[in-house]
Structure 1
Amino acid sequence: MSHHALIEERPWLLASIVAAVAFYLLRDNAVGGIQLMALKGAGVALLAVYAFRRGVGTNGLLLTTYLAFGALGDVLIEISITYGGAAFFAGHMAAIALFLRNRREAPTGSQRAAGAALVLLTPVLCWLLSGSYEVGLYGLALGGMAAGAWMSRFPRYRVGIGAVLFVISDLLIFSEMGSINLAPLPHYLIWPLYYVGQLLIAVGVVQTLLADRLATAWQR
């Protein structure tokens, strides 16, 4: 992203970070349920606005859709984990479509192995931690999203790592559903891992799409 573009869009990213930090600090305080839900959803919703404003073409729309479903899932999961999971599942489908459109041309053997591990092990871990076959099925979409991110042409140390952080966050959520007690890690780590993951994905994809547009402009 150019310096000018970063300054132009900094308010959206800054507002997103402020909302995410505020939710983390206020979630255990006596804040009204609806207000807290709105604050929670605002973090990733503002990333969706950022992606919509800075994204390019179909790839930008897919990224925006992914983040918008993520924000919806953040809110709905406070009502029902089933409703929230459905929203996240839809978002993962959009992300998988995005990453399949942007596959890395010549991945190394280690990259292929990491992608295979993510797509195969994630649903197994989701099932083992939660004890739920439905969660295991959700894990297929989660693992597919993470594997797609790792195998895409987008920067792995932003988009790939961001997707892995999302997976770890969800695994911590599912550990609270089953017999494996990881307390107090889920309470403290779920939200930071999830939000930082979403932030890295949003910024990493947008930066790549903007670089593509700049390169195309120079070729004309």
Structure 2
Amino acid sequence: MSRRALAEKRPLILASIVAALAFYYLRWGPWPEIYLIPIKGAAVGLLAAYLWLRHSSPDARLMAWAFGAAALGDMALEITTDRTVGGLLFFAYHVMAMGVYLRNRREELSPSQKATVVAMLILTPLIAWTMPADRAQALNMGLYGLALGAMCASAWASDFPRYRVGAGAALFLLSDLLLFAEMGPLQDSVVPQVLVWPVYYLGQLLIATGLVSTLRKRDPELRLVKNG
């Protein structure tokens, strides 16, 4: 799809991508953080609006609320160095997203798919628990990792397109693992600073577009916008 077609048919997606790129590049410059906070929130916030406006099903609406919580979490992480509020908002995102995926479970999983689901459920909280250099944070990280792993596993086991929604959830998982590593083995590395945002945003973009595309094909009568 050309940029002109994207602007005409999916303006919210285009605006979201612009906001995501703007935040990524402007944060390396002299811009005050106060100006970057709403730009960061707009990237996923516009995806929430896209989910809400493109389909009126309960799944689309619940995922829109989840993306709204994630957008607030993105901003909270910029406002304070204390990650508690941001972590709680993302915990809410995982719970709501998991509700959507569990309502759309795939009837059968192959052995490799089952193994992937189990690995996500078990290894994610374990890795999260081992990452922080400050062991006082280990329990909180482990509990958050449990919700993160459950969200990703349920997305992988859902009947939404695995190469869009499943892959998007896996990218979300990777971005959070990089954040965990920034609290431990990658404390002095620029890798998390460079990779976390683009990996996370790409994951969210894949989830939003994959979910809307699937729901609009399943329930065309619930479409709210002609194009899309």
The TM-score with structure 2 as length reference comes to 0.88
Which segment is superposed worse, 16-25 or 58-67? 58-67
Q: What's 2:219 paired with? A: 213
Residue type at the aligned position of 1:71: A
Whether the aligned pair in 2 keeps the contact of 1:56 and 1:209 (CA below 8 Å) is no
Q: Which residue identity does 2:68 align to in structure 1?
A: A
Deviation (angstroms), 1:6: 7.0
Unaligned runs of 5+ in 2: 224-228
Cα pair 2:6 2:14 within 8 Å, conserved: no
2:48 is matched with: 48
Aligned-residue offset at 1:187: 1.3
Q: Match for 1:16: what amino acid?
A: S
94 and 120 in structure 1: CA distance in 2 versus 1, 3 angstrom threshold:
same
Structure 1 residue 180 displacement after superposition: 4.6
Deviations 1:71-122 (A, max 9, x none): 0100011223111000000011000100010000111111111111111111
Q: Which residue of 2 aligns with 1:24?
A: 24
Distance change in 2, residues 1:182/1:201 (3 Å) = farther
> Once the 2 structures are TM-superposed, how far is the Cα of residue 161 of structure 1 from its aligned partner?
0.7
CA drift at 1:55: 2.6
In 2: Cα distance, 1:211 partner to 1:116 partner: 30
Cα contact 1:19–1:40 (8 A) shared by 2: yes
- The amino acid that maps onto 2:11 is P
Aligned partner of 1:162 in structure 2 is 168
Query: Who is 2:10 aligned against?
Result: 10
Measured after TM superposition, the shift of residue 124 of structure 1 is 0.7
Deviations 1:170-198 (A, max 9, x none): 11111111245572211110000000000
For residue 104 of structure 1, give the secondary structure of its aligned residue in structure 2: coil
Residue matched to 1:138: 144
**Contact 1:126–1:171 at 8 Å: present in 2 too?**
yes
Q: What TM-score comes out, normalization by structure 1 length?
A: 0.91
Preserved contact between residue 20 and residue 43 of structure 1 (Cα < 8 Å): yes
Shift of 1:199: 0.2
Moved more, 97-106 or 170-179: 170-179
C-alpha separation between the residues in 1 aligned to 2:15 and 2:156?
Answer: 28
1:9, distance to aligned residue in structure 2 (A):
4.4
Flag the 1:31–1:124 CA change in 2: closer, same or farther, 3 A: same
Please list every run of 5 or more consecutive structure 1 residues that lacks an aligned counterpart in the other structure. Answer: none
Q: Which residue of 2 aligns with 1:68?
A: 68
Report the counterpart of residue 93 of structure 1 in structure 2: 95
Amino acid at match of 2:33: G
Q: In structure 2, do the counterparts of structure 1 residues 32 and 7 end up closer, same or farther at CA, with 3 Å as the change threshold?
A: closer
Structure 2: distance between partners of 1:149 and 1:8 = 30
Q: What does 1:121-200 correspond to in 2, within 5 Å? A: 121-130=123-132, 131=135, 132-181=138-187, 183-200=189-206
Counterpart of 2:116 in structure 1 is: 114
Match of 2:226 in 1: none
Greater shift, 173-182 or 38-47, is seen at: 173-182
Identity score, percent: 49
Quote the offset at 1:216 in angstroms: 9.3
Q: 1:84 to 1:107 in 2, by over 3 A?
A: same
